[in-house]
Amino acid sequence: MVSLRRMILEPLAPAGQGMPVEPGELLTELAGLYASNREFFALSGDFPDPDDIRPEQVAAALAEEMAHPDAEVLLARSDGRLVGLAITLAHHPDPADPDPWIGLLMVDARRHRRGYGRRLAALVEDRFRQAGRAAVRLAVLDSNPNGLRFWTALGYDVIGRRKDLQLGRPCAVLRKTL
């Protein structure tokens, strides 16, 4: 049995020019993590074929995320295994928005409903709390009722609606005071 208490977060450091992850074991792990979440990527449309998510597509998606100067990709490991990742944004592009954001929180689908997502969310919240942040926000696609249930169960409140900045998809915006 894997101990959730031993989950650690490791920031993903850029590996090379424009590629945050070089081909190899880590990229293979990350591609497996993304591919395991076929259901999410089918509803989000982030990949052309959610049944065929390739390592080079994951590398490109991570490079796009990390191109933002305030973005951080955090790898979640438990007992040495990659079990999830979180992509955070220290400052939203809207200067009127004072809160950091969780852009993506994903757990290996084979580990869903075992507490990994809750633990990962708590670790991300702790990082923001330690940085002196008072609250955190995120957006959940309207087409993702399971995501909305997950975040509201963790104490996030729906504070508004807007389209996401990347693809213009309708979303609920949630916020949690830390």
Domain containing 70 equals: 4-177
**Number of domains present in the structure of the chain:** 1
Select from 86, 64, 54, 72 the least CA-distant residue to 18.
64
pLDDT score of 22: 60
Which helix (DSSP H) or strand (DSSP E) does residue 141 occupy? strand 135-141
Q: Tens digit of pLDDT for each residue in 135-154?
A: 999 999 999 999 999 999 99
Residue 115 CA: distances (Å) to CA of 7, 28, 122: 11, 24, 11
Residue 17 has pLDDT above 50, yes or no: no
How far the first Cα of the chain sits from its last, in Å, is 30
Can you give the CATH number for the domain in which 79 is found?
3.40.630.30
Cα 89 off chain centre by: 10
Q: Tens digit of pLDDT for each residue in 104-118?
A: 999 999 988 889 999
**CB burial of residue 139 (10 Å; 0-12, 13-18, 19+):** buried
CA dihedral sign of residues 27, 166, 147, 40:
negative
